């Protein structure tokens, strides 16, 4: 680790091992998850992707107030490792998985705190078509702790894509209900509200939406 990189030193020194869970990386924003730590996580993911000959990441995020900042820091780290990033914006986690297939990326991260309270956030990760769990997540921690992080000569490319229509068309092209159904959907002010009513309507349902406006405070 270079002594001339104080951000790297501080982020690594304060790296809390407890955020590296069995199925995701998750912590409290501003405490166990800071932009500096998240950037190092992104660089570690980019380094792991490089080791598996993977170039491109899809990044999606939920509707939490902290998610844009967390996604931005993650993207910065991925680009630092020379990875190309396609930002698909505010989407439910399944759309990030879909995006990795649709855009032939092989890797994706959904920035989401899942079912946890609003002060939490985290990352669900796929590299080379495999969801990171268990030892694979611990390896990301080890990469950061041991400073086994690749830094490219220049940042990876960053682009923005809207895949909402592609997602709806793919599902509605496969599924059409034969008998008209009235569906009441309550999205609890979460990010699914941005697409679920339209998706259900596209497969032939009559939709009554409840709490489908995305609200980061729920």
Active site (catalytic) residues: 114
What is the rounded CA–CA span in Å between residue 37 and residue 209?
A: 38
Q: Which candidate, 40, 54, 34, 42, places its Cα nearest to that of 5?
A: 40
Distance (Å, rounded) from C-alpha 218 to C-alpha 215? 5
In whole angstroms, what is the distance from residue 98 CA to residue 81 CA? 24
- CA terminus-to-terminus distance, the chain: 41
Which residue, 135, 160, 145, is CA-closest to 43? 145
Burial of 204 (C-beta count, 10 Å sphere; 0-12/13-18/19+): middle
């Amino acid at each position: 680790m270079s002594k001339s990189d104080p951000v790297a030193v501080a982020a690594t020194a304060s790296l809390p091992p407890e955020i590296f869970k069995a199925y995701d990386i998750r912590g409290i924003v501003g405490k166990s998850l800071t932009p500096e730590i998240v950037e190092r996580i992104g660089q570690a993911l980019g380094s792991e992707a490089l080791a598996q000959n993977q170039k491109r990441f899809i990044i999606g995020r939920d509707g939490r107030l902290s998610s844009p900042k967390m996604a931005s820091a993650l993207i910065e780290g991925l680009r630092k490792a020379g990875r190309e990033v396609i930002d698909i914006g505010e989407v439910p986690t399944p759309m990030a998985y879909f995006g990795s297939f649709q855009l032939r990326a092989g890797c994706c991260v959904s920035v989401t705190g899942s079912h946890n309270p609003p002060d939490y956030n985290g990352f669900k990760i796929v590299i080379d078509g495999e969801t990171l769990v268990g030892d694979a997540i611990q390896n990301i921690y080890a990469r950061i702790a041991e400073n086994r992080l690749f830094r490219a000569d220049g940042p990876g490319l960053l682009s923005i894509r809207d895949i909402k229509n592609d997602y709806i068309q793919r599902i509605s092209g496969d599924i059409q209900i034969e008998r008209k159904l009235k569906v009441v959907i309550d999205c609890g002010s979460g990010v699914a509200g941005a697409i679920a009513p339209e998706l259900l309507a596209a497969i032939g349902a009559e939709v009554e939406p409840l709490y489908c406006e995305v609200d980061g405070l729920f």
